[in-house]
Structure 1
Amino acid sequence: MSVKTVRSLADLKPLAREMAAARLAAEVERERVAAAMRLAEQERKIFELTVGPVTPLRSTDRFIHAVEPPSPEPRQREADERAVLLQALSDEIDVESLLDTDETLSFRREGISLEVVRKLRRGHWSLQAQLDLHGLRRDAAREALGLFIHDSARRGLRCVRVVHGKGHGSPGREPVLKGRVRRWLVQKSEVLAFVQARASDGGAGALIVLLNGTA
């Protein structure tokens, strides 16, 4: 054997080692894949034994529409607003000093002219909403009134009616809410003025209230 042939055989040894290593790596990978498949098959059989026989559902042509979730309700904010409104309306304020001493003890905020009160009394503005406080106790009536005025002003209403009753069903036939409603209304910044309703609109048992931005 010549020297050249010996060198050629020596050069082939590293190549042979690389090929052997490659075959070993391929065999290891095949064994890993096979093991994974056997494990998956075992898990499938265990699942089938656990669940039992399964009947495939019949295919249908129905289209299932995605249901939009309802809009979140700001319940905590509404509760906070109710609490603020309830606390803000005091029963201790001296309302008599704030009322005009006419035949109906009307009210007008500073800067509101007497002509506005006259127009309100004549029905210049159409009634857009009404709150009836009949049968409500003091705290419930106070909360209802605060929410009604707040909501009406936020909706941009101009003129509303508040029915407090004439007191015919109260002990002593005295209107329990009449004075309190006046006292609460003068504390609401949304209220510009109010007058006793005309006979056709409730008379002594109701007030016509003018709200912000309407004068």
Structure 2
Amino acid sequence: MAPERKDKERKLSTEDRILWGRVAKSARPMPGRMADLEAFEAALAAEAENEEKTRAAKAATAPAAVDTQNAQTSAKQPSGQHHPFERPVKRKIAKGRLALEARIDLHGLIQSEAHGMLLDFLLRAHSRGLRHVLVITGKGSSMGSEGALKRAVPLWFSKPEFRFLISSYETAAQHHGGDGALYIRLSRGKGEKL
């Protein structure tokens, strides 16, 4: 008798999710298999949400006493919350006085392709020390489109794999894509000066 496999219990690491995103970019579902792909993506999203809930529960039950050195270290790390751009910064970007250092165009892609490409793009931009980038999602105004990426991308930013890469984001100015694009401010890397 073969030993029972426990593949269902295995959780994907961040690296596995990134790898899946890269594979998904290059693959097209077979006709009639889109439902399977969507179910798999839903399972990945549910798994990430469960991990986040578990972390939050562990943090809530952790002892309240924290030594001052740990408190100082955690104060220097990004909080994972995204704040809106300051008006002067958004104005400078919109007028071209503050450069957008990179851009990615996701419109026309399915969510699994876009997720992997966006994560890869933001990881590379963050590792290069870039600060302001443009993400074009598209407005979803074409016939039969509901603007899936326009709605999904901001939701992805709260997921663990994106959360600490991004400091803030805001809808772009009209000439940069308006409702179909986002200005992203990447968080600073460790040891970067303000």
> Normalising by structure 2, what TM-score?
0.52
Correspondence for 1:205: 180
Q: Answer whether contact 1:117 1:195 (CA < 8 A) is retained.
A: no
Confirm whether residue 153 of structure 1 aligns to residue 126 of structure 2: yes
1:163 alignment partner in structure 2: 136
Deviation at 1:118, TM superposition (A): 2.0
State the match for 1:191 in structure 2. 166
1:210 and 1:195 mapped to 2: Cα distance?
A: 9
Tell me the residue number matched to 1:129: 102
Q: Which has the larger radius of gyration?
A: 1
- SS of 1:147's partner is helix
1:82 to 14, 18, 25: 18
CA RMSD, 1 decimal: 3.2
For residues 153 and 186 of structure 2, the distance between their equivalents in structure 1, rounded to whole angstroms, comes to 15
Matches within 5 A, 1:33-182: 80=16, 82-83=18-19, 90=45, 110=81, 116-124=85-93, 125-171=98-144, 173-182=145-154
- Provide the rounded CA distance (Å) in 2 between the counterparts of 1:127 and 1:170: 31
Structure 2 CA distance for aligned equivalents of residues 144 and 166 of structure 1? 18
Structure 2, unaligned runs of 5 or more: 1-14, 23-40, 50-78
CA distance in 1, matches of 2:80, 2:86: 10
**TM-score, length basis structure 1:** 0.47
Report deviation, 1:123: 3.0
Return closer, same or farther for 1:140/1:174 CA change in 2, 3 Å cut-off: same
Count how many residue pairs are aligned between Structure 1 and Structure 2: 119
| Contact 2:82/2:166, CA 8 A, preserved across alignment | no
Match of 1:59 in 2: none
Residues 148 and 126 of structure 1, relative CA distance in 2, 3 Å threshold: same
Aligned mates of 1:119, 1:81 — CA distance in 2: 36
Secondary structure of the 2:185 match is strand
- With a CA cutoff of 8 Å and minimum separation of 6, indicate the structure with the bigger relative contact order: 2
> Do the aligned residues in 2 keep the contact of 1:133 with 1:141 (CA within 8 Å)?
yes
